[in-house]
A = this chain, B = another copy of it.
Amino acid sequence: MADIKATRQQTKLHNRDLVIRTIFDNEPISRADIARTTKLTRTTVSEIVARLMGEGLVEEVGQGSSIGGKRSILLSLVADSRYLIGVNIAQENFIGSIVNLRGEIKDTVSIPVQGNDGHKALELIYGIIDRLFAKGWLPVVGIGVGAPGLINSRDGVIINAVNLDWQDLPLAGLLENRYQVPVTVLNDSQATAMGEYVYGEHGSDKNLVVVNVRHGIGAGILIDGRLFQGDDGGAGEIGHVVVEEDGLVCRCGQRGCLETVASAKAVCQKARVLYKSPEPVSLDMLLSRFESGDAVTRQIVVNSAHFLGKAIGSLIGVLNIKKIVLTGDMPRFGPDWLAAVKESIMKSALNRLTHETTIEVGQLDYRACILGASAYLLQDSYSILFTQPEK
């Protein structure tokens, strides 16, 4: 009998998830349309909606079009009824934000990492989240983290993040213990993809690839509206696909990885060599030379775009996903860089596929990762929104 009870309880939670997801994706929406979309009965939907309204999560916001003479009442989520914390720890500054249910950022805290790694880097994360909690937004129902490296999202473990010197760090568990709310940890490129998918305006396609070109390079893949992470969370690890045989040694140990020729770090290093600069060259410096029309800089940037385009062409050949969004630092080089990427893509895979593919630039900058990490937490289980779990 215990089993049957558990199953009923699961079904109830599943149905609540379904209803809230349907409102989230389609708001404003009537009870009748929720029933139609979810295939639940009208009675079940009405019961669940009544409970969600009782919890302050859902509200009636007006009347829809007439059906059979009777106008239906439309429902929406109450955007500020719950808050999430999204944290991006894949940049030179760790950044965390308070986000409401509509993806609006209410407050942001940022801390420079300054080379801290290991336990010190963890303390920085605690510092950010402590400060966000102290801002007083209530209730905060969960924390989503976008982190660099190879992540096991199922268990919330960072398997390997070279720059932070973390191996097998159970980050989700540590944060759950400290803050007593659910926590998810995602690879930052996957989180960025999720953010652009949910909150960027890239049309209604359910399949989307977001390629994040910063210090490193990674992609996030949305299939049928869900993040596809592969068997071990490594889907989209295109930064370490070899594109130049016997090329430069990469931090992963291989030679000629995409990161060694097409990342922001790679172009800065290449520029330092070609400029014969004793000092490191910053991306800002490179950008200003690029904009002033310097031929050497132009060659460096176009060459990097060429390799990126090859890798994206290969990705199009594998996935045939027709919308690709480019985010991160390299898109700052603007239309010329983008044109060079596109030109290379067109030469790198079947014409029938590449010609049908749209390449866009991301809209949310560093916020994509924060918003995506929090949106993933929601999509993973809307039940975190329920403040009064059923007994």
- Chain A interface (Cβ < 8 Å from any Cβ of B): 7, 11, 36, 39, 150, 159-160, 205, 207, 219, 221, 223, 228-238, 240-242, 252-254, 310-311, 313-315, 317-322, 347-353, 356
Contact = CB atoms under 8 A, between A and B. Distances in A.
Contacts of A314: 238, 241, 311, 314, 318
A248 B234 CA distance: 33
A102 B80 CA distance: 54
A350 B205 contact: no
Contacts of A39: 7, 11
Contacts of A320: 229-237
Contacts of A242: 310, 313, 347-349
A207 B231 contact: yes
Number of this chain's copies in the complex: 2
Contacts of A352: 150, 159-160, 232, 234
A321 B230 contact: yes
Contacts of A150: 350, 352
A245 to B, nearest CB: 8
A228 B351 CA distance: 20
A351 B347 CA distance: 28
Nearest to A230: B320
A238 B317 CA distance: 5
A217 B36 CA distance: 44
A137 B317 CA distance: 40
A7 B35 CA distance: 11
Contacts of A229: 320
A270 B233 CA distance: 39
A313 B241 contact: yes
Given A150-B350, A234-B317, 11 more contacts: A11-B39, A231-B321, A232-B352, A234-B350, A235-B320, A237-B320, A241-B318, A252-B350, A253-B351, A254-B347, A318-B319
Contact of A205 (B159, B231, B315): B231
A242 B316 CA distance: 12
A234 B317 CA distance: 7
A317 B240 contact: yes
28 contacts: A7-B39, A11-B39, A150-B350, A160-B352, A207-B230, A207-B231, A223-B223, A230-B320, A230-B321, A231-B322, A231-B356, A232-B322, A233-B320, A234-B350, A234-B352, A235-B320, A237-B353, A238-B317, A240-B349, A240-B350, A241-B313, A241-B314, A241-B317, A241-B348, A254-B350, A314-B314, A315-B318, A318-B318
A318 B231 CA distance: 11
A318 B219 contact: yes
A322 B232 CA distance: 8
A7 B36 CA distance: 9
A255 to B, nearest CB: 8
- Interface centre among A228, A233, A253, A351, by most B CB within 10 Å? A228
Contacts of A349: 237, 240-242, 254
Nearest to A320: B230
B234 A353 contact: yes
A237 B317 contact: yes
A236 B7 CA distance: 39
Contacts of A7: 36, 39
Contacts of A221: 318
A241 B312 CA distance: 10
Contacts of A252: 350-351
Contacts of A238: 314, 317-318
Contacts of A253: 351
A315 B261 CA distance: 19
A187 B52 CA distance: 47
